[in-house]
Amino acid sequence: MPPTTTTGSKEEKREEEEEEETFTFTVFTPSAEDGVFTPPTLPQLNNLLRRSTRTLRNRLHAIAADSVFVARVGAAYGLPLVPNARAGNWYVPSPQHGQVYFKSTDGHYGRVAFSLRRLNAQLLCANQGRGAVVVDSTRRGKRFPDALAKTVPVWCAVVNALLFPERFERPVLDTIPLAVSEQERRQIEGRLEMWVEEAKMLGVDWKPMIKKPWRPIWVSPESTLPDSPPDWEAAEYTPLILCTASRMVKGEGTEGEYIQGAGDDHEGWAGECGLTPEVFWAHAKKILAAGEDEIGEAVAAAVAAGIPDASSSNGNGHLTCVRPTASVFVAARPELEAQAVPPGLLVVNCCEKPLAMKAKGNVIIHVPIAAGKKGNKALRTLVPPLLQDRRLLDSLAGEGAVFACEDGNDVAPAVAAVVLCAFFDGDGSLMETPRRKEDVDKTLVKQRLAWISTARPLANPARGLVSGVHSVLMGWEGQTETLGQAVSLDVPQPSEHPPPPPPPPPPTPLLCCRNRSTRPSRIAGNPRLASHRVIPRTSRATHLAGSCSSGRAPPRALTLADT
């Protein structure tokens, strides 16, 4: 074979090997340690898209668009707009008839309840008892929030049974099939009579401001509104329009720049910048005109400027008198600092910081208690001495006392509830002698909290504070059997010779049985049992066997206390 042929074949093989090396590759999976970019997963992309659309600017524009629909609902039905606290406040620029507080948690599946602490009795007086539009929203892809779907209908059923017992032998529940199944409806109806009885025990004066029973009517952006307001005078019921402000968006809850329920859970998106519904609507034009890059500066300027009437930003805008008393008031810190308080009124400052009041002639007792459940210990420690302060007793018998905290809805109502339970009877009159601890129970506490809730609808002390109220009124705090027992203001000095400690209690007799703890080795190391005689098992068994064989009844069970 010619040599050229061999050389050519070798070159061809070399070229083939080079081609194989060129197309050979190794699969490499990047990791975080390699510092190589990892492609995001589909859920991560969805979260990124949702965050990019749920900006502060998009939220505020969605709120402004939904508020236009809410105004149309009020005009179509000829009824005033009453926002449901928190989310509903963002959709009503200037509420003229206060607000209500129906929590969605009271309507969650399996947890539906009639709240004895959120009576919303002010709704009976709204629009002189001719009906209203309750405004709320939800962001969870549902058409109606649980507050409108279940909490308010349960409230209507209970209130109708209380005010019109001659028309309702049993409470009647109205629900919307889109939100409440027939099975859940039957479960709720089975508990209505129990809630009616619990509401009767509160002793609240449910004034019949409404002449006809409530009837809930659900309205959403998909509903058809009437061309002209109906003739409610001719109707057989009092209308309560339950309006959800946001249109329902399927999927992740976003559709372009629109956000369903943009006003819901505002603590997460408006808490950091300090924006409130009142501030937003006071500067709405400037805020909505800002672009995505300027929205932060516009909101910061609005928050710094505040609102023209700061005293009305926290609910009532004045001192709230807790009826049926005439000498117990509850207020928020801004309400107390923005107006002149009558000079004879005692101020119980429950804020952690001192008050900056305009008037200087008021007596102030500082009881610093943290808000929420963190204030439980401080309430149990500081309130018993307050009940024994003669200045409080004198003020309750005179001009009265006002209890103030940061928002007027948490710590101050809790402290006021203690005072109401200790010094006032069921008619709201000051008792000659304070109530004894043995005469206080949780029903009495619920009644006094109902007084406060009726006067100040947003008052809702934290559960930890209510637990502290129970401890002060029924527990060991105060070390006295009578609440508010007067004591000397001088602190007693400890004695040089303290009394001897009480003798230890006698040892508890233990049954001598087949227990490993009765072994002599263990008893010898226990001073309480070292003096007791232990009967060996063999002797004990022989003794019992001999007694039975002789025809006598076996002796009683032996104890280690037998000597």
State how far the Cα of 63 lies from the Cα of 69, in Å rounded to an integer. 10
* pLDDT single digits (tens) 183-197: 999 999 999 999 999
Q: Specify the pTM.
A: 0.71
Q: What pLDDT score does 44 carry?
A: 66
The tokens of 122 are what?
């002010």
State how far the Cα of 560 lies from the Cα of 540, in Å rounded to an integer. 13
Q: What pLDDT score does 412 carry?
A: 96
Q: How many CB atoms lie within 10 A of CB 248?
A: 16
Residue 25 pLDDT > 50:
no
State how far the Cα of 155 lies from the Cα of 115, in Å rounded to an integer. 8
Residue 284 pLDDT > 80:
yes
Place of tokens 């409530």: 214
Amino acid at site 386: L
State how far the Cα of 367 lies from the Cα of 560, in Å rounded to an integer. 55
State how far the Cα of 563 lies from the Cα of 179, in Å rounded to an integer. 74
Looking at the domain 314-474, which fold is it? Protein-Tyrosine Phosphatase; Chain A (3.90.190)
Strands 81-83 and 132-136: parallel
Task: Measure CA 367 to chain center.
Answer: 23
Q: Which residues fall within 8 angstroms of residue 532, CB to CB, at 6 or more apart?
A: 523, 560, 561, 563
CB 211 within 8 A of CB 32: no
Judged by average pLDDT, the poorest of 223-227, 278-282, 316-320, 453-457 is: 316-320
The residue among 192 and 515 whose pLDDT is bigger is 192
State how far the Cα of 269 lies from the Cα of 53, in Å rounded to an integer. 13
Where in the chain are the domains?
52-269, 270-308, 314-474, 511-563
- Taking CB atoms within 8 Å and a gap of at least 24, the contacts of 194-201 are 195/113, 195/114, 195/154, 195/158, 195/171, 196/158, 196/161, 196/162, 196/171, 198/114, 198/116, 199/114, 199/116, 199/158, 199/162, 200/162, 201/443, 201/446, 201/447
Residue 240 pLDDT > 80:
yes
**3-class state of residue 132 by DSSP:** strand
Calculate what percentage of the chain has a pLDDT beyond 70.
72
Range ranked top by mean pLDDT from 1-10, 48-57, 66-75: 66-75
* pLDDT single digits (tens) 120-174: 988 888 888 889 999 999 987 788 999 999 999 999 999 999 999 999 989 999 9
Q: What pLDDT score does 513 carry?
A: 43
State how far the Cα of 198 lies from the Cα of 115, in Å rounded to an integer. 10
Question: What mean pLDDT value characterizes the chain?
Answer: 80
The tokens of 97 are what?
């008839």
